[in-house]
Amino acid sequence: MTLARKKQRHPCSMFVDLFMTSGEKMSLLSFFRTLVGLYVAVFALIASASEPNPLSVHVLDLQTGKPSPGIRVDLERKLAAGNWEAIGSALTDEQGRVRALVPASAMSQWVAGEYRVIFRTGEFYARTKQPTFFPEIPVVIQVQDTHQHYHVPLLLSPFGYSTYRGN
């Protein structure tokens, strides 16, 4: 003997049947479709925002042993003619970092070649009312693989600096 199994309905479906007309049910379905569409769009936006930026910098003040917030850092790309083209600019954060120096709008310009990272240290020292020997520190880097991440730390004091390729 086989028993016919009664189809189980979701508890909410009874509420929908009692209180909603068929037109309202379609509106509700349309609403949920829109909600799912928004969810997919937001997820895609988050995924694209999590793409790693190819260039970051970090500035540490050797005199105080602390990060250097508020230093303007400019990025330029060397053109075939030998002149420099501005690509982006940012300020170091409270930790002395710029985590994404290449703006999203300039990612298509990130190609193999020479780039110049210019740390505008004179502005920083003027705000802190300290003299400096280096009003700006240009660091020219060679990008060979655009899929790699490049990190340029700067160890800074009013009368000297050091830099290297970080990771």
59-69 pLDDT per residue, tens: 999 989 999 99
Higher pLDDT, 156 or 15: 156
Query: CA nearest 163: which of 141, 148, 132, 135?
Result: 141
Q: Tell me how far apart the alpha carbons of residues 66 and 93 are, in angstroms, rounded to a whole number.
A: 12
What's the confidence (pLDDT) of residue 27? 67
The C-alpha R_g of the chain, in whole angstroms, comes to 28
pLDDT > 60? residue 16 = no
Q: Tell me phi and psi for residue 145, to 5 degrees.
A: -120, 110
How does pLDDT run across 84-142, given as a tens digit for each residue?
999 999 999 999 999 999 999 999 989 999 999 999 999 999 999 999 999 999 999 99
Largest pairwise CA distance in the chain: 97
Structure tokens at 102: 């290449």
Q: 45-65 burial by CB neighbour count: b if 16+ within 10 A, else e?
A: eeeeeeeebbbbbbbbbeeee
The amino acid present at 85, given as its one-letter code, is: E
Mean pLDDT (the chain) is 85
Q: 66 to each of 26, 39, 86, how far by Cα in Å?
A: 60, 41, 29
Q: Tell me how far apart the alpha carbons of residues 10 and 6 are, in angstroms, rounded to a whole number.
A: 13
Q: Band the pLDDT of 150: cuts 50, 70, 90.
A: very high
What's the confidence (pLDDT) of residue 113? 96
pLDDT > 80? residue 49 = no
8 Å CB contact between 131 and 158: yes
How many Cα atoms are found within 13 Å in the side-chain-facing hemisphere of 153? 11
Higher pLDDT, 73 or 2: 73
Q: Band the pLDDT of 32: cuts 50, 70, 90.
A: low
pLDDT, mean of residues 56-82: 96
Q: How much of the chain, in percent, has pLDDT values that exceed 90?
A: 66
Q: Tell me how far apart the alpha carbons of residues 2 and 113 are, in angstroms, rounded to a whole number.
A: 76
Q: How much of the chain, in percent, has pLDDT values that exceed 70?
A: 69
